[in-house]
Amino acid sequence: MSTINIDHVDAGFSDTTQASQQVFRLGLHVFARPGTLVEVPSDAVAPKGIGAAANALLLALLDQDVSLYLAPQRSAAATYYRFHTGCTLASIPSEADFVFVGIEDEMPSVETLKMGTEYAPDESATMVREVSLIEVGVGMTLTGPGIQTETRLMVPELDTAFAQTRSEIASLLPRGVDIFLTCANQLCGLPRSTRIGV
Amino acid sequence: MYDSAGTDIARREWLGLLAQAPLDMLEAWGKDRQEEYVWLRRPESGLAMVRARIGATGDRFNVGEMTVTRCTLRLANGRHGVAYVQGRSTRHAELAALADALLQEPTIRETLDRQLLQPLRARIAAKRAAIHQDAHLTKVDFFTVSRGDE
C-alpha cells in the first residue's frame, strides 16, 4: 500500500453521508433530464482548477473500487481524491472509470474512453467536464429519453467535432460514455442516450 | 529518526501509544486545550480486517475484523494530525489526532512527552505485564518421564 502525503490536502464534505447522497440525487436528476441545469450545494474545499460542482460530484461518486484520470499537472487534486475517496489513479484516460477534464485540459476523444460491453454497459467511463459556460435554451439541440421534444444547450468547449464523434458512437448503445458538464456550482447531464444535433 | 523504509520511528511509537490510550487519560490531558483545528476527515468508524502470521513466519491468515475509528485534522499552523484507534469512540480519535499534530512540533514535543506519553507508556506496560502474568500462570511445561528399562 502506498502512502499519501497530505500536506496540501484540503477538507472534503463536512457531513460525508448526507452531502454525498444529496449530490448523488442531483446526478441522477440531470441524467434523467438531460439539458437541465441544477446548482450543487457543497461545503468541500475544491482543489485548484476544479469547480464546486465537479468536486462534489467526484467526492460523491468515487470510491476504492474505481479509478480516476486527471491531467498530469493535477497532482494536488489527485492526492485530494485519493485521500478523501480511496480511489485509484489511472495513468491514461482509456483505462479510467472516471475522467475529469478541466477547462484548460486537453479533452480526450470520447471514443477512446471505456464504453463497457454489450453484457456490462455499466463498465463504461463517466466523464466530468468542467466548462466555462453552460447556457440552456440556445445552441446545439438535444433529443432523446428524458427530453419531451427537444432542448438546447450551449457550451463553448463542446465543438462540432465533439458532436460528430458522439453521434458516431451513438449506434453502439447500450455501450457509450456518460458526461457530466459542470461550470462552477452548476451541473448538467449528457448521458449516452442523448442525441446531439448541431 | 527514520528507519530504512523512511518511517518516522518516534511518530510510529506515539501513534501506537495514542491508539491504545485509555480515553480517560487522553481526556484528562486534552479537555482544556485551546488549539483550533479544521477537519480534513471527520471521525468515522469502520471495520478493518486484522491479519497475522503464526509465529510471524507462517502464511498470512485473517484473524478477524475489528472496529476502527479514524480522523484527520489540521492545526492553524498547518500541521496535520491523524488517528486510527480501536473501537468507535470519535472522541478518542479526535484527541489522538490532536496529540499527533502537536507532537510533530519540535518545540513542545518534550513537554508533551512528559505530560502524556510517559504516563501512557507506564500504563500500557503495566497492562501488558498483567496480561503476561495471567497467561504465565497457565503455562505448562511438557516433558516425558523417562522409563528406567530403556
pLDDT tens profile A111-122 = 999 999 999 999
Number of domains making up chain B = 1
> Given B39, B44, B80, which is nearest A6 (Cβ)?
B80
State the virtual CA torsion across A192, A194, A197, A198 in degrees, nearest 10.
-70
Complex prediction ipTM: 0.73
Domain that holds residue B114: 9-134
pLDDT classification of A1: cutoffs 50, 70, 90: very low
> Given B38, B44, B78, which is nearest A11 (Cβ)?
B38
Whether B111 is in a domain gets the answer: yes
* Interface-testing mutation among A9, A81, A82, with chain B (most B C-beta atoms within 10 A): A9
Residue B40 and residue A14: Cβ atoms within 8 Å?
Answer: no
The number of residues making up chain B comes to 150
pLDDT classification of A160: cutoffs 50, 70, 90: confident
Residues B112 and B33: beta-carbon distance below 8 Å: no
Residue B61: DSSP 8-state? E
Whether B33 is in a domain gets the answer: yes
Helices A52-61 and A75-85 meet at what angle, rounded to 10? 40
Q: Which residue has the higher pLDDT, B137 or A179?
A: A179
Residue A10 and residue B80: Cβ atoms within 8 Å?
Answer: no
Whether B34 is in a domain gets the answer: yes
Question: What domains lie within chain A, and their CATH numbers?
Answer: 16-193 (3.40.50.11310)
Q: What is the pLDDT of residue B58?
A: 84
CA angle at A3 for the pair B66 and A49, rounded to the nearest 5°: 115
Residue B39 and residue A14: Cβ atoms within 8 Å?
Answer: yes
Q: What is the pLDDT of residue B72?
A: 94
Q: What is the pLDDT of residue B145?
A: 76
Q: Of the ranges A28-32, A103-107, B136-140, which one carries the lowest mean pLDDT score?
A: B136-140
Residues 6+ apart with CB under 8 A from B124: B17, B20, B21
pLDDT classification of A198: cutoffs 50, 70, 90: low
Whether B89 is in a domain gets the answer: yes
Whether B55 is in a domain gets the answer: yes
Chain A residues touching chain B at CB-CB below 8 Å: 6-7, 9-12, 14-16, 83-84
Q: What is the pTM of this model?
A: 0.84
Q: Is the pLDDT of residue A181 over 90?
A: yes
Contacts of B40 in chain A (CB under 8 A): 6, 9-12, 83
Q: What is the pLDDT of residue B56?
A: 79
DSSP bridge partners of B50: B64
Residue B40 and residue A7: Cβ atoms within 8 Å?
Answer: no
Whether B1 is in a domain gets the answer: no
Residues A43-102: tens digit of each pLDDT: 999 999 899 999 999 999 999 999 999 999 999 999 999 999 999 999 999 999 999 999
Chunked in runs of 10, what are the mean pLDDT values of chain B (150 residues)? 72 92 92 89 93 87 94 92 94 95 92 92 93 89 74
In one-letter notation, the amino acid at residue B94 is E
Whether B4 is in a domain gets the answer: no
> Given A6, A14, A15, which is nearest B72 (Cβ)?
A6
Whether B147 is in a domain gets the answer: no
CA-nearest residue of chain A to B38? A11
Q: What is the pLDDT of residue B55?
A: 81
